[in-house]
Chain A
């Protein structure tokens, strides 16, 4: 018996050593980038194998923050917060309304529209980017945030699906009781269901914010004035050889651009994991 338990401890030990080492390999690139943002640029090249900087310097951050061509990263961060924030509010509210309709109402052609919703969810942006561009160009929206933000206000498939699953878990008895008490279906949504689906709304909001924050393709297509650039796009411009190759400053701004995502990840991990697990769809 004793022999067996030492054997078990041994196996557990090996398991942890292996998993821990693998975790280190996985996280190494990120760690390296964040720590390199405190290094001198020459040090990044000279001793690329080192993880820790010889001395922690914040110079890269002060230099990088100035941005390029007179446009500082303060502007870019404000733009990103604006785009991601508005898009998220729009996506979450509109998706919750649509999800309620699909979950609690019987109407003609419901299954047809539901299938359309699923197709829309699977349809990648890259496929409709050119047609959409033509449309927005026609109505004169190119060069503004409108083509990036406005489509978010019409429900997003993934969030509709996620919230729908959540509403289905709420007992229908609640709706029925409310109806008997004289609630209209709109009041049922506003007064009863909406407050109850908060966890699903939070999950959707987190995903939406992270995706919009990281989004690079739509700013690339629609924006041309540096004053309007979000961080993702600004970073790309900053990293272009023409803007110089101050890798230290670049890593500083790259790390900074990931900071909101890190913060959300660390504080909201529970919601993210649940969101992915409950829908079974990539996050």
Chain B
């Protein structure tokens, strides 16, 4: 009540009303008013938790108890006495190293195939894009399990073409891992769309003059298409690498890390440590290691980009 009357009094002074309105309308202030949601969210849900977790990474912390400071113990355990840490890291690295390039190559190849427009272009585009929309869902994870089971679809289809087998694809380390990689490659659709729009932006005149100069199709691809697409490839690569390291659902649902933790992804192990074993301090340390590692990889790519990424503006 009191506040209201005070406010009324303030507003009744003509000069004040103006300055208040004016201040809100000043671009410098208005900008902050508009981005306020982002700023609040950024600090509340990213910066503060990140700083807290940095602190917790130096403690032994069970969710029920109080954190007790143990200095670098978590990091020491991680690096020197937890073989599972390096194992899951290596497995994830393997997954990224194969799934990301394969997915990008597939995306690029199909994009080149689809850039030629025909009556069926829309249909093809839809079919190739669909898996990347639903690929990370639990439904597809369940489906994948059935496909590669010993009495699953793959073996049945192999039987049809006369190759009878009862291989449990998800029961062997190598094939289990590759079924996960296959799932990732299957979702090449969104990268394909990005490449497709990149391809359409390459000036036709470049191809025309190259053809006149007698360049073959292969040569045109490697000398024009590929270099012109490098900025697109670059951003795709960074995105896919980050996403690849964060893969979770596939390993968690399809293989559950089996056999013998040979498909246990880093994020799943991090999850297990934090929520199954209740070692939140250790989980925080693992999360921070991942942030720094992925950050370093991203930085490395950015630093080396002028060696292989072609930006048109630079050459002018």
A-B contacts, 12 of them at CB < 8 A, read A15-B113, A16-B120, A110-B31, A113-B39, A122-B242, A125-B246, A130-B283, A131-B50, A132-B49, A155-B41, A184-B24, A280-B235
Mark the stretch among A41-49, A58-66, A81-89, A195-203 that contacts chain B: A41-49
A177 within 8 A of B: no
Query: What's the Cα separation between A106 and B34 when bound, in Å?
Result: 11
Contact B41 A154 (CB under 8 A): yes
Tell me whether A26 and B127 are in contact in the complex, defined as CB-CB below 8 angstroms, given that A124-B243, A130-B53, A153-B37 are known contacts.
yes
Nearest-Cβ distance from residue B301 to partner chain A, whole angstroms: 12
B28 near A108: Cβ-Cβ < 8 Å: yes
- If over half of B's interface residues share one DSSP class (helix, strand or loop), that class is named, otherwise mixed; here it is helix
Q: How far is the CB of B35 from chain A (nearest CB, A)?
A: 4
Known: A151-B41, A276-B193. A105 touches B138 (CB 8 A): no
Contacts of B140 in A (CB 8 A): 29-30, 254
Smallest beta-carbon distance B166→chain A, Å: 12
Q: Is the CB of A281 within 8 A of B131?
A: no
Tell me if B151 counts as interface (CB < 8 A to partner A): yes
Question: Is A145 in contact with chain B by the CB < 8 A criterion?
Answer: no
| Contact code string A215-246 (vs B, CB < 8 Å = 1, else 0) | 01100010000000000110110010000000
B137 in the interface (beta carbon within 8 A): yes
Say whether B284 contacts A130, CB under 8 Å.
Answer: yes
Which of chain A's residues have a CB closer than 8 A to the CB of B53? 128, 130-131, 134
User: Which of A235-283 touch B at CB < 8 Å?
Assistant: 235-236, 239, 247, 250-251, 254-255, 257-258, 261, 265, 269, 272-273, 276-278, 280-283
Stretch at the interface among B11-19, B76-84, B267-275: B267-275
Interchain CB contact under 8 A, B116 and A131: no
Which bracket fits the contact residues of B?
Answer: 35 or more
Category for how many chain A residues contact B = 35 or more
Which residues of B lie under 8 Å from residue A122 when comparing CB positions? Answer: 238-239, 242, 298
* One of A26, A33, A153 near B143 (C-beta < 8 A): A33
With contact pairs A48-B152, A134-B52 given, residues A126 and B248 touching in the complex (Cβ less than 8 Å): yes
Q: Is A4 at the interface (CB under 8 A from chain B)?
A: no
> Complex formed: what's the CA distance from A120 to B21 in Å?
32
Contact residues of B between 104 and 157, Cβ < 8 Å to A: 110, 113-114, 116, 118, 120, 123-134, 136-140, 142-147, 151-153, 155-157
List residues of chain A with CB within 8 A of the CB of B175.
none
Say yes or no: B49 contacts A258, CB within 8 Å.
no
Inter-chain contact A185/B27, CB cutoff 8 Å = yes
Instruction: Give 16 new A-B contacts, CB below 8 A, not counting A49-B160, A102-B34, A282-B240.
Output: A20-B124, A105-B28, A106-B31, A117-B38, A123-B46, A127-B294, A133-B274, A137-B63, A151-B41, A151-B45, A154-B37, A189-B34, A232-B137, A235-B142, A277-B194, A283-B193
| B-chain residues with CB within 8 Å of residue A127 when the two chains form the complex | 246, 287, 290-291, 294
Identity of the chain B residue whose Cβ is nearest the Cβ of A160 in the assembled complex: B38
Query: Would you call B186 an interface residue if the criterion is a C-beta within 8 Å of the partner chain's C-beta atoms?
Result: yes
Tell whether, in the assembled complex, residue A128 and residue B46 are in contact, meaning their CB atoms are under 8 Å apart. Answer: yes
Q: Is A216 in contact with B249, judged by CB distance below 8 angstroms?
A: yes
Verify if A23 is at the interface (C-beta below 8 Å from B): yes
B58, CB-defined interface residue at 8 Å:
no
Residues of chain A within 8 A of B116, CB atoms compared: 15
Taking the closest CB of chain B, its distance from the CB of A52, in whole angstroms, is 14
B142 touches A250 (CB 8 A): yes
B165 within 8 Å of A (CB atoms):
no
Asked if B169 is at the interface (CB within 8 A of a chain A CB), the reply is: no
Interface residue? B167 (CB, 8 A): no
Q: Does B190 contact A (CB under 8 A)?
A: yes
